[in-house]
Structure 1
Amino acid sequence: MTASELPVTREPGHPFDPPKALRALPPLSRMRYPDGHLGWLVTTYALARAVTADPRFSSRHDLMHAPAPGPVVTHPFPPAPPGMFIGMDPPEHTRYRGLLTGRFTVRRMRLLTERVEQVAADHLDAMERHGPPVDLVKAYAQPIPALLICELLGVPPTDQERFQHHAATVNDHDVTPEEQYAAAGAIQQYIHELVRAKRAEPTDDLLSELTGADLTDEELAGIGALLLGAGLDTTANMIALGTFALLSHPGQLDALRADPGLADQAVEELLRYLTIAHTGVRTALADVELDGQVIKAGEAVALAVQAANRDPAKFTDPDTLDLRRQEGGHLAFGHGVHQCLGQQLARVELRVAFPALLRRFPALRLAVAPEDVPLRANSDVYGVHRLPVTW
Structure 2
Amino acid sequence: MLDTADVLTADDPLYEELYDVRREAEAVGNLIDVAAVMPQVHALRAQAPVHKGRLRELLGLPPHERHSRAAGRPHWTVLSYDACEAAFRDPAIFSNSVQGHDNPAGEKTMGILEMDPPVHRAYRRTIQPKFNMPEAMGWWREHTIDTIIARLIARMAAGERADLNLDYCARIPVYTITTAIGLDGDEALRFRHAYLNSTSSSRTVTMQQRLENAKIVESTVLGLIARRREEPRDDLVSFLLGMKLQVPGEPVRPLTDREILAHAKLVMVAGGGTSWRQMGIALFALLTHREQLDAVRDDRALIDDAIEESLRWNPTAPYFYRMVMQDVAFRGHDIPEGAVLELGLGPANHDPSRWERPDAYDLFRPKLTNMAFGLGTHRCLGMNVARVEINRGINALLDHFPKLRLAPDAPAPFMTGGLEQQGVSGLPVLLR
Classify the TM-score, shorter chain: 0.7 to 0.9
Select 2:42's aligned residue among 18, 23, 35: 23
Identity %: 31
From the superposition, tell whether residues 229 and 48 of structure 1 become closer, same or farther in structure 2 (CA, over 3 Å): same
C-alpha distance in 1, partners of 2:88/2:298? 38
Paired residue type of 2:391? R
Q: CA deviation at 1:325?
A: 2.4
Q: CA deviation at 1:156?
A: 1.1
- The answer to whether the aligner puts 1:212 opposite 2:242 as a matched pair is yes
Q: Which runs of 5+ in 1 are unaligned?
A: 1-5, 13-17, 65-75
Q: CA deviation at 1:265?
A: 1.3
- The answer to whether the aligner puts 1:153 opposite 2:181 as a matched pair is yes
1:360-375 equivalences under 5 Å are 360-367=400-407, 372-373=412-413
- The one-character-per-residue Cα deviations of 1:241-283 (angstroms, maximum 9, x if unpaired) are 2212211111111111111011121111111111111110001
Paired residue type of 1:289? A
Q: Residue 362 of structure 2 corresponds to which residue in structure 1?
A: 322
Q: Is the 8 A contact 1:154 1:205 kept in 2?
A: yes
C-alpha distance in 1, partners of 2:332/2:127? 38
Q: TM-score under structure 1 normalisation?
A: 0.85
From the superposition, tell whether residues 374 and 90 of structure 1 become closer, same or farther in structure 2 (CA, over 3 Å): same
Q: Which runs of 5+ in 2 are unaligned?
A: 1-29, 55-62, 65-70, 244-253
Q: CA deviation at 1:162?
A: 2.6
Q: CA deviation at 1:346?
A: 0.7
C-alpha distance in 2, partners of 1:180/1:302? 27
- The one-character-per-residue Cα deviations of 1:111-148 (angstroms, maximum 9, x if unpaired) are 1434533431221111011x133221221112211121
- The answer to whether the aligner puts 1:128 opposite 2:157 as a matched pair is yes
C-alpha distance in 2, partners of 1:103/1:138? 28
Q: Mean alpha-carbon deviation: is it higher for 266-275 or for 180-189?
A: 180-189
Paired residue type of 1:199? R
- The one-character-per-residue Cα deviations of 1:280-321 (angstroms, maximum 9, x if unpaired) are 000100011111111110000001111011111112221121
From the superposition, tell whether residues 385 and 163 of structure 1 become closer, same or farther in structure 2 (CA, over 3 Å): farther
From the superposition, tell whether residues 82 and 168 of structure 1 become closer, same or farther in structure 2 (CA, over 3 Å): closer
From the superposition, tell whether residues 296 and 8 of structure 1 become closer, same or farther in structure 2 (CA, over 3 Å): farther
The 3-state SS of whatever aligns with 1:275 is coil
Q: CA deviation at 1:27?
A: 1.2
C-alpha distance in 2, partners of 1:389/1:167? 31
Q: CA deviation at 1:163?
A: 3.6
Q: Is the 8 A contact 1:285 1:298 kept in 2?
A: yes
C-alpha distance in 2, partners of 1:233/1:368? 28
Q: Mean alpha-carbon deviation: is it higher for 360-369 or for 51-60?
A: 360-369
- The one-character-per-residue Cα deviations of 1:180-222 (angstroms, maximum 9, x if unpaired) are 7765654333212211221222111111121123111111111
Q: CA deviation at 1:176?
A: 6.0
C-alpha distance in 2, partners of 1:40/1:388? 39
The 3-state SS of whatever aligns with 1:383 is strand
The 3-state SS of whatever aligns with 1:268 is helix
Question: How much is the aligned-residue C-alpha RMSD, in angstroms?
Answer: 2.7
C-alpha distance in 2, partners of 1:358/1:225? 33
Select 1:52's aligned residue among 88, 113, 134: 88
1:284-299 equivalences under 5 Å are 284-299=324-339
Q: Residue 123 of structure 2 corresponds to which residue in structure 1?
A: 96
Paired residue type of 1:28? V
Q: Residue 422 of structure 2 corresponds to which residue in structure 1?
A: 382
Q: Residue 35 of structure 2 corresponds to which residue in structure 1?
A: 11
Q: CA deviation at 1:372?
A: 5.0
The 3-state SS of whatever aligns with 2:127 is helix
- The one-character-per-residue Cα deviations of 1:22-64 (angstroms, maximum 9, x if unpaired) are 22113100124644532100011111111111121111147x7
C-alpha distance in 2, partners of 1:309/1:296? 27
Please identify runs of 4+ aligned residues in structure 1 that moved more than 6 A: 171-174, 179-182
C-alpha distance in 2, partners of 1:377/1:308? 19
C-alpha distance in 2, partners of 1:83/1:215? 15
The 3-state SS of whatever aligns with 1:224 is helix
Q: Is the 8 A contact 1:83 1:220 kept in 2?
A: no
Select 2:134's aligned residue among 92, 100, 107: 107
From the superposition, tell whether residues 240 and 105 of structure 1 become closer, same or farther in structure 2 (CA, over 3 Å): same
The 3-state SS of whatever aligns with 1:134 is strand
The 3-state SS of whatever aligns with 1:60 is helix
Paired residue type of 2:136? M
C-alpha distance in 1, partners of 2:223/2:259? 13
Q: Is the 8 A contact 1:153 1:207 kept in 2?
A: yes
Q: Is the 8 A contact 1:110 1:348 kept in 2?
A: yes
- The answer to whether the aligner puts 1:203 opposite 2:233 as a matched pair is yes
From the superposition, tell whether residues 186 and 303 of structure 1 become closer, same or farther in structure 2 (CA, over 3 Å): farther
Paired residue type of 1:49? E
From the superposition, tell whether residues 61 and 98 of structure 1 become closer, same or farther in structure 2 (CA, over 3 Å): same
Q: TM-score under structure 2 normalisation?
A: 0.78
Q: Is the 8 A contact 2:318 2:419 kept in 1?
A: no
1:273-292 equivalences under 5 Å are 273-292=313-332
